[in-house]
Structures are given as C-alpha cells and as structure tokens.
Amino acid sequence: MDENITEPMRLSKRMAQLGLCSRREADSYIEKGWVKINGQIAILGQKVSLTDRIDLEKQVHEQQAARVTILLNKPVGYVSAQAEHDYKPAISLITEQNHWTEDNSRTHFSTKQLSGLAPAGRLDIDSTGLLVLTQDGRIAKHIIGETSNIDKEYLVRVKGNIIDGGLALLNHGLSLDGKALQPAHVIWQNQDQLRFTLKEGKKRQIRRMCELVGLQVVGLKRIRIGKIKLGALPQGKWRYLAANETF
C-alpha cells in the first residue's frame, strides 16, 4: 500500500479529487470564506486528511448553478483554444447570432457567460463536430481529467487502401509515440467512412492511426462525447447543455 495515502494534502487538491470543483476554483472559494473544514472556516493553503469533513457554503452552489456549458458544432478553420497563426478560436463563434434557434434549455445568452469559458478537450483545426466549452471545472475534469472514462465517437472519411489486418489493428495493436494505444472500437460505416469510438485523445490520434494502416483521413467529425450527441445541431451553431443532460 502507498504509504503517502494517509498523509495530509492541500485542501484545494482534496476538493478537486472529490469532484467538488477545480483547484483554482477551490482556492477562490477558500479565499472568500465559503469552505469549512469540520465546521471551521478554512484558510488558503490548509492541509486536510481523508477523514476531514468539507462543507461548502450556499454561495458556492449558487455560483456553480449559474455556470454554463456550451455545445458547439465546430467548423473547419477554427482552433479549439487560443487563436494561433491567424486562425480564430472556437469561442469567437459563441455569439447571440449563432445560438441555435431550436435550443430548448431556456437559458438566455449573456456576454458574462464568456468569462472563464474554456474548451474541455480539443478538436483539430481541420476537424468538425462536437466541442464542449464550459465554465464548470467539475464538467471539464469529468470529460478530460486523468481518471475520465468518457468515450468519444467520430465519423471519419478516408481514402487509400487499408493494409491486410488493418481494421483489427485500428481496434487494438497500434502504438503512437512509443506507447501502445488503448483498445478502440472501429468499424466500417460505409465503403469510405469509418466510425471510431475512443477513450483517449492523443494529438491527431485518429489521423495518425489511419496513416499506420495505409489510409488518409479526408474528413473527421466528432458526433458524441459520453452521453451527449451532436444530433441536429448545425455547423457553426451552438446550444446550452440542459439541466437534465449529463455526460
């Protein structure tokens, strides 16, 4: 057994570990006096043990409830995060004009929602489909945290001739950057399109996997993250994650 498992850890780390918020959010709540340890107001930098009781004031829950998560159908030509090489970031598409008219979440757009809004995961500049942007550290951790078990589904148009046994290798047996890939689920959707389901997301993973078996990707679209599907959301449009939806 790990001898360090019972050693005290920073309160912010413990709060993130419990899925209460991100470490940065935890520090903010502690500074505001919104966190109690065993009934006492916590202080920044405080250490706790696994048996200490952590309580959050109502202001935390109110602030978290006000945070939004946005689902965008990203077009080609937009980067997921910060602008680079004159390409615009995906967040620039989050405007009132681009809000999908069929969004039934009943949430009204405000420019305040852009503050702290960040992508939970990436989608290459030449890929399209579902991109999640969120103000909620809990959701980001759930999707892209080290312990995340959420799978993602893609439709991938390809050209070229696949090598013998190539489909089996795409499912399991390939390595990237000197490390074996986790098993995937890959099937032919039609004669020039594959359907990939992955639980990991190395940089340009699908394109590189296809190259290893003789295929070139000519179109890639993410259609699902966990339980959330892209559905009928038009390209370049966005909607809110509804209160009854989870990943």
Alpha-carbon span 44 to 26, nearest angstrom = 9
Per-domain residue ranges of the chain: 3-65, 69-147+228-240, 152-225
pLDDT in tens, the chain (247 residues): 444 556 899 999 999 888 888 888 899 999 999 999 999 999 999 999 999 999 999 988 877 777 899 999 999 999 998 777 788 999 999 999 999 999 999 899 999 899 889 999 999 999 999 999 999 888 988 898 878 889 999 999 999 999 999 999 999 999 999 999 999 999 999 999 999 999 998 889 999 999 999 999 999 999 999 999 999 999 999 999 998 999 9
Give the position of tokens 């069929």.
102
Could you tell me the pTM of the whole model?
Answer: 0.79
How high is the pLDDT of residue 195? 98
| Tokens encoding 164 | 């013998």
CATH architecture designation of domain 69-147+228-240: 2-Layer Sandwich (3.30)
Given a contact cutoff of 8 angstroms between Cβ atoms, the answer to whether 197 and 184 are in contact is: yes
190 — phi, psi (to 5°)? -155, -170
Domain 3-65: which CATH class? alpha beta
Distance CA 207, CA 136 (A): 30
Q: What is the pLDDT of residue 243?
A: 86
Q: Which CATH architecture has domain 152-225?
A: 2-Layer Sandwich (3.30)
Q: Which entry of 55, 86, 103, 124 is annotated as an active-site residue?
A: 124
| Residue 124 designated active-site | yes
Q: Torsion angle of alpha carbons 137, 138, 144, 146, nearest 10°?
A: 110
**pLDDT for position 182:** 95
Residue 6: the pLDDT is 67
